[in-house]
């Protein structure tokens, strides 16, 4: 039986990677880790306990229905007696690999400032193209090394010119007298990084060497013919809210109605969930729509910030195909997150071959902008109320199973993080976030470097609500497209003006008509370039909220 892609319940514009029709008779195969790593996903389960609900402060009982229904079959609440088996010791957020960036987007001639929770890092490539990562702080006077430049593959602090090699060791101090020795402790803290399947990962532990077994590895990317569409987005809310949103398929038909040709409001319906695995490092299970129970997506969350959604299917030719969406959500500080989103498939799509990559990128930006308003407000409410999510959320069994699972996992692991909001417990940030702003002005604009600052034209201070700073400055392809279409727009406009001037001066009526027609065509071409630029750089605004 053939089913159109609109019924596959996959999120966002990812379905453009699928063929026009897929067969729905496939069984889902779980993802496995790199066999070389020697670690698989265990089936250890944990217990959340049958905690007593407290009333919502507004007088309404929050999520009582969810709690009572969950206790009947253990879908939302883990089974009793499995708490200790899944704990695996106290969770430490430092003993993990975090996704820093897409390897192809790391600039070869500039330093890139990034953060993991409150740790500021600088990523760059040395003279041999090897990825290097240090603490983003010069040991001399604490200036940001990311504000500096690369000199012969060495990172130079722009304050006093101290230079550091790939291991963080200071190799040059211009102010030292002749024969003077560089102090032994004049070094930048080094972090181990790895490039795996197109993603740069950083090991954050200060006391233990990198655990290669924990380095994420995605089996679908090793399959023959597997291709992906990957983008980077910086978002103005906490990574836990981002993860919660990405593992919530129920919102897609409503929030993203007809954005990606697959989400439709009329498709909103009850969902089914089957939790098959709970461990100290996350959970996994199947989900789908109750109207199409034969289509089962496999969702897996793995600490600290990896979410995958996979659909296995058989195409119309009887060939097994795989679609997988990978969401790598790095905590980038209070109220900030960085998302590396990757949609991949073994099946090819004619849309992906015909449409340019920037079109898919802008569509992904549009999807995140459709969510941004209520996710940012959700972030504000959690920080203001300072109570666990069970006091605020009204979770439904038919839509919010993964959300409840994730917040309960936070109860288990959150105390090993700088801050967190769990289902029953929380640890809010101890101090308010420090919001950094780049200086304004022509000099600051010229000195700002891609891809972190993007200071060009009249734009100087990074604005996390702007599509330009959320995506374009992180994407070489979109930046190049913006430059190309800006040049074309200006060239077409200049030629149109010249054609009009020539038409005015022309004595022959026939030439006047030809020149004016040419001016109109050139003006239309300039407008088309402006439309493309607007599509790439302008935020989506819902029509019913337009002021």
Task: For residue 476, give Cα distances in angstroms to 112, 231, 481.
Answer: 13, 10, 8
Q: Which two tokens stand for residue 324?
A: 């997988």
Rounded to whole angstroms, the Cα distance separating 416 from 94 reads: 9
Q: Give the pLDDT of residue 205.
A: 93
Using only the alpha carbons of the chain, give its radius of gyration.
26
Rounded to whole angstroms, the Cα distance separating 383 from 56 reads: 17
Rounded to whole angstroms, the Cα distance separating 230 from 141 reads: 38
Q: Give the pLDDT of residue 464.
A: 63
The pTM of the full predicted model, rounded to 2 decimals, is: 0.81
Rounded to whole angstroms, the Cα distance separating 91 from 73 reads: 28
- From start to end of 189-319, where are the E strands? 192-196, 199-203, 227-235, 271-279, 282-289, 297-302, 306-315
* H-assigned helices in 289-399: 350-354, 357-385
Q: Give the pLDDT of residue 104.
A: 94
pLDDT per residue as tens digits for the range 251-283: 999 999 888 677 889 999 999 999 999 998 999
Say how many C-beta atoms besides its own lie within 10 A of residue 516's C-beta: 16
Classify residue 90 as left (phi > 0), alpha (psi -120 to 50) or beta: beta
Rounded to whole angstroms, the Cα distance separating 304 from 301 reads: 9
How far apart, in Å, do the first and last CA atoms of the chain sit? Answer: 47
For every residue of 351-380, DSSP letters joined together read HHHHS-HHHHHHHHHHHHHHHHHHHHHHHH
Q: Which two tokens stand for residue 90?
A: 């106290």
Rounded to whole angstroms, the Cα distance separating 103 from 236 reads: 23
Question: Which portions of the chain are predicted below pLDDT 70?
Answer: 1-89, 260, 432-465, 545-547
Q: Give the pLDDT of residue 129.
A: 92
Rounded to whole angstroms, the Cα distance separating 149 from 151 reads: 6
Q: Give the pLDDT of residue 165.
A: 95
In the Cβ-directed half-sphere of 167, how many Cα atoms lie within 13 Å?
A: 4
Torsion angles phi and psi, residue 293, rounded to 5: -65, -15
Planar angle of CA 185, 191, 197, nearest 5 degrees? 160
Q: Give the pLDDT of residue 463.
A: 63
Sign of CA dihedral 455, 460, 462, 468: negative
């Amino acid at each position: 039986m053939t089913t159109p892609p609109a019924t596959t319940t996959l999120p966002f514009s990812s379905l453009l990677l699928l063929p026009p029709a897929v067969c729905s008779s496939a069984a889902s195969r779980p993802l496995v880790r790199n066999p070389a790593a020697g670690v698989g996903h265990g089936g250890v389960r944990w217990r959340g306990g049958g905690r007593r609900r407290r009333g919502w402060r507004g007088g309404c009982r929050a999520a009582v229905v969810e709690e009572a229904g969950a206790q009947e079959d253990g879908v939302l609440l883990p089974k009793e007696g499995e708490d200790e088996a899944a704990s695996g010791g106290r969770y430490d957020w430092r003993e993990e690999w975090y996704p820093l960036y897409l390897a192809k987007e790391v600039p070869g001639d500039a330093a890139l400032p990034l953060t993991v929770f409150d740790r500021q890092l600088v990523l760059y490539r040395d003279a041999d193209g090897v990825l290097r990562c240090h603490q983003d702080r010069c040991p001399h006077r604490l200036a940001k090394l990311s504000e500096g430049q690369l000199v012969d593959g060495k990172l130079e602090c722009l304050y006093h010119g101290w230079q550091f090699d790939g291991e963080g060791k200071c190799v040059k101090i211009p102010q030292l007298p002749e024969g003077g020795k560089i102090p032994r402790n004049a070094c930048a803290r080094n972090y181990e990084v790895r490039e795996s399947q197109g993603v740069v990962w950083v090991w954050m532990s200060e006391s233990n060497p990198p655990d290669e077994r924990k380095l994420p590895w995605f089996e679908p990317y090793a399959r023959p013919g597997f291709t992906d569409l990957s983008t980077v987005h910086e978002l103005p809310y906490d990574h836990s809210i981002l993860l919660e949103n990405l593992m919530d398929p129920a919102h897609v038909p409503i929030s993203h109605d007809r954005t990606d040709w697959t989400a439709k409001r009329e498709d909103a319906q009850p969902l089914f969930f089957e939790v098959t695995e709970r461990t100290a490092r996350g959970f996994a299970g199947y989900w789908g729509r109750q109207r199409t129970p034969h289509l089962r997506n496999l969702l897996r969350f793995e600490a600290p910030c990896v979410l995958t959604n996979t659909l296995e299917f058989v195409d119309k030719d009887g060939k097994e195909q795989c679609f997988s969406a990978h969401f790598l959500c790095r905590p980038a500080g209070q109220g900030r997150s960085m998302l590396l989103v990757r949609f991949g498939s073994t099946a090819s799509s004619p849309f992906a071959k015909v449409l340019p990559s920037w079109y898919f990128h802008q569509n992904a930006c549009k999807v995140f902008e459709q969510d941004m308003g209520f996710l940012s407000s959700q972030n504000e409410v959690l920080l203001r109320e300072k109570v666990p999510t069970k006091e605020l959320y009204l979770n439904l069994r038919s839509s919010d199973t993964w959300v409840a699972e994730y917040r309960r996992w936070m109860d288990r692991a959150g105390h090993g993080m700088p801050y967190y909001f769990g289902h029953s417990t929380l640890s809010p940030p101890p101090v308010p976030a420090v919001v950094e702003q780049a200086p304004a002005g022509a000099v600051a604009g010229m000195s700002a470097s891609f891809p972190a600052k993007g200071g060009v034209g009249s734009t100087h201070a990074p604005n996390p609500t702007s599509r330009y700073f959320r995506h374009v400055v992180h994407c070489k392809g979109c930046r190049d497209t913006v430059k190309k279409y800006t040049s074309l727009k200006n060239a077409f406009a200049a030629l149109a003006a010249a054609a009009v001037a020539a038409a005015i001066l022309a004595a022959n009526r026939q030439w006047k008509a030809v020149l004016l027609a040419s001016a109109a065509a050139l003006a239309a071409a300039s407008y088309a370039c402006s439309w493309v630029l607007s599509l790439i750089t302008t935020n989506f605004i819902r029509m019913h909220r337009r002021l």
